[in-house]
Amino acid sequence: MPLGGTFTAFASTTPGLETILAGELAAIGAVPGRAEPGGIEFDATPSLLARALLSLRTAHRITVRLATFHARTFGELERHAATVPWTEFVAKGGAVHFRVTSKKSKLYHQDAIAERLERAALSASSGVTAVRAPSSAEAMEEDLERVPAMQRIVIRVMRDAVTLSADASGALLHRRGYRQAVAKAPLRETLAAALVIASGWHPEVPLLDPLCGSGTIAIEAAMIARRMVPGRARRFAAERWPGFGPIFEIARREALAAELAAASSVIIGRDRDAGAIDAARSNAERAGVAADVNFGLGALSATPDDAAPGYVVTNPPYGTRIGERAKLRDLYATIGQLMRARLPRSSLTMLTADRVLEGHTALAFDELFRTTNGGIPVHAVRAFGRS
């Protein structure tokens, strides 16, 4: 990796969140480049890469391009693979894993492609071992957390064009390290952060999640209010690349120095499930924001008075199973009544998967973005208590 120059990086995200991610990149000094569904390309220096990994709240992985070339035969692939600077990103004595996809190409056998690249990497790097893919993507993420010296190489072959990229993240970036206790249907940290950002919330204004579950939305809001970077408590694959460790240490020290001692706003999480509140408090403690979020038991209709006027940001149940919609009509109607009767000067931002259920709120919504959550198509909508 060119310590003194720039290289091409790609920040991936859940499709639908690209605009939010572009805003985050611009905020840390990057110039967002080519965008495609699920991510944005940008030019990075080592210090900018470190800031991106530490700071981006809606990205789930960042990769760095290593090489691009055309190969229609295994001989061509091996010849090009021998010129890749493997020692610059595969640590001595570490492990390497190749994740290959191939479409519309002469080289279509993914395992055979990975095998040829493994040979090149192992012959160039002393003491490096190859790790074959585990049984599932989830198991791969667990391996990346359990085996800190593992470097994942992402290979994309499309119409005989081969692109090699090094995963700079390691475990996916939504794994902040604080969420060990979860309630039912937990919201991924990156999507919770996107919801808070899209709501337009300002940290000096109260924020309420009346259906907080394990507290992810409120915790992400508190971290934003405290200027706490989401990667503050974890390590990244790129830190093991030769010469990159000191750069990350500098970036981490600067990020920690910029944190505020406390949130300036009231952040409230309520749920009627005592187990969910216990989980939320434990997660907030691990995230370092326990003193910044007021978690407590409470029905949806019993909203604290200090939440208004402000922002309501929440992720209600979607009712995707047969028979669930009828049970949720009253819940969505109560959300609408809450906004009109108790929070008329507040805004409501929520993820929903059912426009019929939205209609039971009797609120006029604007769509903020469309994405998926747990494989379910959802969209973020915003309305005001006084429509």
- The contacts of residue 71 (CB under 8 Å, 6+ apart) are 77, 80, 107, 157, 160, 162
Res. 380: pLDDT tops 70:
yes
φ/ψ bin of 203: left (φ > 0), alpha (ψ from -120 to 50), beta (otherwise): alpha
When pLDDT is cut at 50, 70 and 90, the band that residue 139 belongs to is: low
Mean pLDDT of the region 346-361: 94
CB burial class (10 A; 0-12, 13-18, 19+) of residue 99? middle
Q: Which strands make up the sheet holding 150-158, listed edge to edge? A: 32-36, 39-44, 7-12, 61-70, 161-167, 150-158, 95-103, 129-130
Mean pLDDT of the region 324-340: 89
Least confident of 106-120, 136-150, 310-324: 136-150
Q: pLDDT tens digits, residue range 213-226?
A: 999 999 999 999 99
Q: Identify the CA nearest to 152 among candidates 174, 131, 177, 127.
A: 131
Q: Residues 308, 345: contact at Cβ < 8 Å?
A: yes
Q: Residues 3, 46: contact at Cβ < 8 Å?
A: yes
Q: Where are any strands of DSSP class E within 213-356?
A: 267-271, 293-297, 311-314, 347-352
3-state secondary structure at position 115:
helix
**pLDDT, position 185:** 65
Amino acid, single-letter form, for residue 116: R
Res. 8: pLDDT tops 70:
yes
Token pair of 267, please?
């952040």
Q: pLDDT tens digits, residue range 31-62?
A: 999 999 999 999 999 999 999 999 999 999 99
Give this prediction's pTM: 0.91
Percent of the chain beyond pLDDT 70?
Answer: 91
Q: pLDDT tens digits, residue range 201-250?
A: 999 999 999 999 999 999 999 999 999 999 999 999 999 998 999 999 99
When pLDDT is cut at 50, 70 and 90, the band that residue 135 belongs to is: very low
Q: pLDDT tens digits, residue range 260-297?
A: 999 988 999 999 999 999 999 999 999 999 999 999 99
When pLDDT is cut at 50, 70 and 90, the band that residue 319 belongs to is: confident
CB burial class (10 A; 0-12, 13-18, 19+) of residue 203? middle
Q: Residues 183, 276: contact at Cβ < 8 Å?
A: yes
Q: Are strands 39-44 and 32-36 parallel, antiparallel or unpaired?
A: antiparallel
Q: Identify the CA nearest to 271 among candidates 200, 345, 182.
A: 182
Where do runs of H (alpha helix) occur along 205-307?
216-225, 245-257, 274-287
186 DSSP assignment: P
**pLDDT, position 76:** 95
Percent of the chain beyond pLDDT 90?
Answer: 75
**pLDDT, position 31:** 94
**Averaged pLDDT score across all residues of the chain:** 90
Backbone angles phi, psi at 54, to 5 degrees: -75, -35
When pLDDT is cut at 50, 70 and 90, the band that residue 326 belongs to is: confident
Q: pLDDT tens digits, residue range 83-125?
A: 999 988 887 788 899 999 999 999 999 999 999 999 999 888 7
Res. 1: pLDDT tops 90:
no
When pLDDT is cut at 50, 70 and 90, the band that residue 358 belongs to is: very high
